[in-house]
Amino acid sequence: MELEKILKRKFNYSSFRFGQREIIQDVLEGHDVLAMLPTGGGKSICYQLPSYIMGGTSLIISPLLSLMEDQVQQLKKNGEKDVIALNSFLTFYEKQNAVKELRKYRFIFTSPEMLQSPLVITALKKCRISLFVVDEAHCISQWGHDFRPDYSKLGDIRRTLGNPPCLALTATATKQVIEDISTMLLLTKAKRHIYSVDRKNIAIVVKKTNSLDDKISTLLDRVQKLQGPGIIYFSSRLWAENIANYLLEKGIKNVAYYHGGMEQEHRMLIQQQFLSNQLEVICCTSAFGMGINKPNIRYVIHFHLPSQLESYLQEIGRAGRDGNKSIAILLYSPNDEEIPEQLIHYELPPTQSIRTILNSLNEKLKNNGNLHITRETEEEIINKAEVNENYWRFVKHQLKEFNLLDDHFFSEEIAIDEVTNNISRIIKQRMDLKSEKLLFMKKWLFSNLCRRENILRYFGEELLDKPAICCDICSEDFLTFETQIKQEANTTITDWREELGRILLKGE
Ligand code: ADP
């Protein structure tokens, strides 16, 4: 059957978006595929549609619980029953039941962490996995901005599952990251579909202010005037909360904050309210947004300077997924660049914390003979060493890499000095890399070159076709552009036929 017909029948879309068809065809021909489509480009269809044709089970590895839940909900809305998110949201019994019945699912969403469980792997081995999908695949690379150590084991997991065809998807990856994804996931023979990261419907603006106060009042002014909905990014939880409260005090309606320090249920609620247009503005940290499938976000404001262009591009890419005009504004006040510099320093454990963690491990080992690292022991170590959970996770990962910790089992005393030095060396390399990325970000910020052209150059691309309203360097006429955004938003009526079709499809 023609692919277009299946697209219409299953998803009620009339045509493929740029790149989708080519990716889907290669997947259907059984090739491994590495695809980069910009945020909002429609990556999900690239595995969902082939799954319906190929049968069997598609295993989708996704970095975030909220992202997984969102994808599951969308498939369910679309009438799919055989879909499950295998993650820590499930209770012990739910997980056991799910694992028993894994074979019946067409789509299994899971996290790299869950794939560390032998129980899950054994169950997956019994399924006919027709596609191994790695979503947000840049997380696999130590050069990628969301590097997640557990992602780096996916190559081995794929092998354990009998090397099913793999589809790696990402929205922002430099050439180096693409090579890393390819090596780690054993994609040497993969077909590559690398499309431009450029989003022409998003104007890119840097607004330099004179002081912090000036920046806050500029923010208020923009939020009052711009067409919403909008997202405002902050580099700290406290700032996100304070500015959300400030905006509410100033009479802006439907504002909320969102960050990783909130209870999971509270976060889900805020996300849901934003998706269903009950909220107009979200003040958040980078914890918000990955996989947010909201087509009509009209602006993304950065109140603080992001630490790298990859994150910046991914965050602004959440605007204008419907293809309509949108704007990204980065607010800058003097010395803002010091914040990401400091953050880089606090992200990974200092030598003293590594030592204390290792000492408490040795001490526990001495008392117990050998040590099974359960959730409880982890919490004890975190409390005893007075470190944050991320520091512990990082050290634990390194201990595994050095073969000092085997599947949560620890039996040999650690040579503290030697191991601390080895871990510190790795930290230094990662910090150097992060500092280098920050340097690019700063160069971009202070450069007089077209913002878009400069971003594309960083990703190894050339700007071939500049949009009429491009960036603050190329054009000053943003007031007209902002008015256009408003007009367009008010006159855009969703294609009612597609919308109606989707409603009817749900009832099938
Ligand atoms: P990405 O993961 O690349 O950011 P998604 O897969 O979430 O993007 O898709 C973004 C939006 O585009 C979704 O609302 C999706 O339903 C819609 N979409 C995807 N493909 C098409 C298509 N061919 N025609 C119309 N809308 C599409």
Q: Taking the model in full, what pTM does it have?
A: 0.81
SS3 230: strand
DSSP string, 74-111: HHHHTT--SEEEESTTS-HHHHHHHHHTGGG-SEEEE-
Taking the C-alpha atoms of residue 322 and residue 41, their distance in angstroms, rounded to an integer, is 10
Enter the tokens of residue 70: 């969102």
Residue tagged 């994804």 (tokens): 181
Residue 404 makes CB contacts below 8 A (sequence gap 6+) with: 410, 412, 414, 419
Enter the tokens of residue 419: 């191991």
CA 168 / ligand 1 centre spacing (Å): 17
Q: At residue 489, does pLDDT exceed 80?
A: no
Mean pLDDT of 426-443: 92
The residue type found at 316 is I
Residue 186: name the closest of 137, 234, 117 by CA: 137
SS3 130: strand
CA 90 / ligand 1 centre spacing (Å): 28
| Ligand 1 atom at minimum distance from 14 CA | 24
Q: At residue 506, does pLDDT exceed 50?
A: no
The residue type found at 462 is E
End-to-end CA distance of the chain: 20
- Any residues with Cβ below 6 Å from ligand 1, and which? 13, 16-17, 20, 37, 39-45, 293, 295, 321
Average pLDDT, the chain: 89
Q: At residue 162, does pLDDT exceed 90?
A: yes
The residue type found at 153 is K
Number of helical (H) and strand (E) elements in the chain, helices listed first:
20, 15
Which backbone phi and psi does 13 adopt, to 5 degrees? -105, 145
Strands 57-61 and 83-86: unpaired
CA 73 / ligand 1 centre spacing (Å): 15
Q: At residue 69, does pLDDT exceed 90?
A: no
What are the beta bridge partners of residue 204?
A: 328, 471
Q: Which residue puts its alpha carbon closest to atom 27 of ligand 1? A: 42
Query: What pLDDT does residue 88 have?
Result: 76
CA 466 / ligand 1 centre spacing (Å): 24
Give the H or E element holding residue 233. strand 230-233
- Using CA atoms of 68, 46, 53, 59 in order, give the dihedral in degrees to the nearest 10: -30
- Which of residues 148 and 186 earns the better pLDDT score? 186
Taking the C-alpha atoms of residue 141 and residue 151, their distance in angstroms, rounded to an integer, is 8
Taking the C-alpha atoms of residue 288 and residue 502, their distance in angstroms, rounded to an integer, is 27
CA 44 / ligand 1 centre spacing (Å): 7
Report CA-CA distances (Å) from 381 to 168, 362, 369, 453. Answer: 36, 11, 16, 48
Helix axis angle for 338-347 and 416-446, nearest 10°, is: 160
Mean pLDDT of 231-260: 96
41 in Cβ contact with 200 (< 8 Å)? no
% of the chain surpassing 70 pLDDT: 96
Q: Which residue puts its alpha carbon closest to atom 5 of ligand 1? A: 42
Least confident of 106-110, 471-475, 487-491: 487-491
Mean pLDDT of 116-120: 88
Give, as one character, the DSSP assignment of residue 471: B
Mean pLDDT of 356-375: 83
| Ligand 1 atom at minimum distance from 46 CA | 6
Report CA-CA distances (Å) from 448 to 193, 445, 451, 454, 472. Answer: 32, 9, 8, 10, 10
CA 238 to chain centre: 22
Least confident of 10-19, 178-187, 213-222, 286-295: 286-295
Q: Which of 62-71, 129-138, 393-402 has the highest mean pLDDT?
A: 129-138
DSSP string, 422-440: HHHHHHHHHHHHHHHHHHH
Mean pLDDT of 146-164: 88
Q: Which residue puts its alpha carbon closest to atom 4 of ligand 1? A: 40
SS3 34: strand
Radius of gyration in angstroms for the set of CA atoms belonging to the chain, rounded to a whole number: 24
Residue tagged 């000036």 (tokens): 214
Query: What pLDDT does residue 200 have?
Result: 92
Taking the C-alpha atoms of residue 353 and residue 351, their distance in angstroms, rounded to an integer, is 5
Q: At residue 300, does pLDDT exceed 70?
A: yes
Taking the C-alpha atoms of residue 315 and residue 508, their distance in angstroms, rounded to an integer, is 36
pLDDT tens figures, 438-479: 999 999 999 999 999 999 999 988 998 899 889 999 987 777
Enter the tokens of residue 475: 């054009």
Query: What pLDDT does residue 498 have?
Result: 54
Pocket test for ligand 1, best of 24, 44, 60 (most atoms within 8 A of CB): 44
